[in-house]
């Protein structure tokens, strides 16, 4: 049985005061959740979320990690540093990093490996562009992005979470239909099962891309969708919690 994970990706949003309000809103919900809740925040706010969420069931993480252990890599943040701030998760290979920072499939795999080696759970993002979908290349793109990650983490693949985020659905209000998303999720599970049949049943596969309170229930009802990676709607506590309650 896979516990659903509803993870917020704040992206480059927030501020000390607005974060405090948002975090208090999340902690104010006392109803029982069957999903695990997490927020992935900009690195400067990790101390704030650690102090606000420590001791609560809500987990937290970062949005990127260096592939290197330590050293002369100006501007980068290491997995050990994230661990010191109590992170459980770190997003790697988000499409915004792949496209704006030219992150290759191989670099994403090295980051995922660095996270796993340090005891963090990477949320590895994969997904096709609109052009690739229209060319019928969705499965091929996802397989190409996933292969180096599965090669790198080897037998530790159950220490990962995979997020399928079709690029055309991110921040656009266009959501993959539940059937479209399920098809890709099922394909991802088959690709993982080719390496580790048992492990594939344990790995959580999240959907991301304009997931909102009004479409979450149908997406999360699909057999291979084990949660969501939420952008815009994670910046508002009632919306984020409504998605969590739909899981
Ligand atoms: P939106 O939910 O804003 O579409 O963002 C999705 C996303 O990129 C999460 O990582």
The verdict on the CB of residue 208 being under 6 Å from ligand 1 is yes
Q: Which residues contact 73 (CB under 8 A, 6 or more apart)?
A: 66
Ligand 1 atom at minimal distance to the Cα of residue 173: 4
Task: Find the domain containing 129 and state its range.
Answer: 5-246
Please tell me if the CB atom of residue 92 comes closer than 6 angstroms to any atom of ligand 1: no
Beta bridge partners of 114: none
Whole-angstrom distance, CA of residue 226 vs CA of residue 223: 8
* Paired tokens of 195: 């390496």
Percent of the chain scoring above 90 in pLDDT = 96
Tell me: the pLDDT tens digits for 199-220? 999 999 999 999 999 999 999 9
State yes or no: is 101 an active-site residue.
Answer: no
**Rounded to whole angstroms, how far apart are CA atoms 5 and 2?**
9
For residue range 49-89, list pLDDT tens digits in order.
999 999 999 999 999 999 999 999 999 999 999 999 999 99
- Is 32 catalytic? The answer is no
| pLDDT for position 173 | 87
Instruction: Specify the pLDDT at position 76.
Output: 98
Predicted local confidence at residue 212, as pLDDT: 96
Q: What is the pLDDT of residues 103-147, one digit of tens each?
A: 999 999 999 999 999 999 999 999 999 999 999 999 999 999 999
Number of domains in the chain: 1
**148 Cα to the center of ligand 1, angstroms:** 24
Has residue 174 got a pLDDT over 90? no
Q: Best mutation site among 63, 64, 231, 236 for ligand 1, i.e. most ligand atoms within 8 A of its Cβ?
A: 231
* Domain CATH number, residue 78: 3.20.20.70
Q: Ligand 1 within 6 A of 170 CB?
A: yes
**CA 37/CA 240 separation, integer angstroms:** 9
pLDDT tens across 26-38, in order?
Answer: 999 888 899 999 9
- Closest protein CA for atom 1 of ligand 1: 231
Q: What is the mean pLDDT of residues 165-184?
A: 94
pLDDT in the model for residue 154: 93
DSSP structural state of residue 105:
H
């Amino acid at each position: 049985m896979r516990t659903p994970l509803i993870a917020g990706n704040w992206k480059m949003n927030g501020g000390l005061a607005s974060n405090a309000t948002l975090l208090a809103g999340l902690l104010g919900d006392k109803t029982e959740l069957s999903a695990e809740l997490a927020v992935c925040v900009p690195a400067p706010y990790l101390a704030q979320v650690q102090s606000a969420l420590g001791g609560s069931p809500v987990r937290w993480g970062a949005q990127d990690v260096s592939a290197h252990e330590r050293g002369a890599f100006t501007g980068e943040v290491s997995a050990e540093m994230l661990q010191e701030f109590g992170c459980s998760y770190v997003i790697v290979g988000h499409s915004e990093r792949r496209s704006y920072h030219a992150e290759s499939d191989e670099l994403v795999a090295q980051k995922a490996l660095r996270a796993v080696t340090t005891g963090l759970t990477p949320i590895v993002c994969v997904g096709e562009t609109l052009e690739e979908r229209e060319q019928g290349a969705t499965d091929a793109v996802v397989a190409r992005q996933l292969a180096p990650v599965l090669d790198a983490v080897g037998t530790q693949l159950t220490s990962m979470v995979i997020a399928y985020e079709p690029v055309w659905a991110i921040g656009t209000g266009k959501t993959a239909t539940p059937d479209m998303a399920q098809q890709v999720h099922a394909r991802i599970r088959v690709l993982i099962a080719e390496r580790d049949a048992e492990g594939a049943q344990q790995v959580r596969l999240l959907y991301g891309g304009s997931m909102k309170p009004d479409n979450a229930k149908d997406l999360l009802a699909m057999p291979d969708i084990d949660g969501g990676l939420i952008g815009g709607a994670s910046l508002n506590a009632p919306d984020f919690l409504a998605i969590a309650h739909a899981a």
